[in-house]
Amino acid sequence: MAKILMPKATAVWLIDNTTLTFQQIGDFCELHHLEVRGIADGDVAQSMRGVDPVARGELTRDEIAKGEADPNYTLKPIAHKVDKIVTEQKRKGARYTPISRRGDRPNAIAWFLFHHKEVSDAQISKIIGTTKATINTVRDRSHWNSANIKPVDPVTLGLCSQIELDALIAKASEKRRKMDEEAGLLSDQGLAPITPEETVEEETQEPSKEITAENLFKFNN
């Protein structure tokens, strides 16, 4: 089980509010340090709102201070005693989205289309409660409000939780990876390599005569 609930959003906050190294943040948030660097550079988790792990009771100020003083120090999350883990029941069908937030769905769709092309239209529809027709209008820019649509992650918009988003992206990425591997195996099946016997046979064959004007005229005569 992950140490924290919203790793990427927590990484955003730690980058913006502390002097911890990318490695320290990555170890605490269970992210690769290069992914943390991508978040800092704005290449990953764009427009994502940071989450304060101190306010959530996942980290203390003293731990942050220790980490800032020693780049090799590994942050220790606050241990919580949980008697029973309550798992969220799987929801059937599309998510219900409150009326006040339905206008934000095109922005979330644009975020998926721009940052996570491996996520299918059906998965987008289910996680934010939209339709494939709306997704297509955002994709081909025929949506009535295309001029004002901008990519914003669905967690920031309150359309889903960070846990749901991370699980969806991980599942879609794994599926795409397997498809790429299968395609790679098929593409590797090319022509059989030339055997030494075939090479010797080709070398012993009499070279073909070069076609010249002189040979051509002799043949015609």
Cβ pair 37, 79 in contact under 8 A: no
In this structure, is the dihedral angle defined by the CA atoms of residues 92, 94, 95 and 99, taken in order, positive or negative? negative
pLDDT of amino acid 42: 80
Give the confidence band of 197 by pLDDT, cuts at 50, 70, 90.
Answer: low
Per residue in 43-90, pLDDT tens? 777 777 888 888 888 889 999 999 999 999 999 988 755 444 444 455
Q: Mapped to the 3 state alphabet, what secondary structure does 134-199 carry?
A: HHHHHHCCCCCCHHHCCCCCCCCCCCCCHHHHHHHHHHHHHHHHHHHHHHHHHHCCCCCCCCHHHH
Q: In this predicted structure, what is the pLDDT of residue 93?
A: 52
Instruction: Name the band, by pLDDT with cuts 50, 70 and 90, for residue 5.
Output: confident
* pLDDT band for position 41 (cuts 50, 70, 90): confident
State yes or no: pLDDT of 9 exceeds 80: yes
DSSP symbols for 22-34: HHHHHHHHT--HH
> Could you report the per-residue pLDDT of 106-127, keeping only the tens digit for each?
999 999 999 898 899 999 989 9
Residue 188 has pLDDT above 50, yes or no: no
Indicate yes or no: pTM above 0.75: no
Taking only the tens place, the pLDDT of each residue in 123-151 is 998 998 889 999 999 999 999 988 999 99
Contacts 24+ apart (CB under 8 A), 190-199: none
How is residue 178 written in tokens? 């397997």
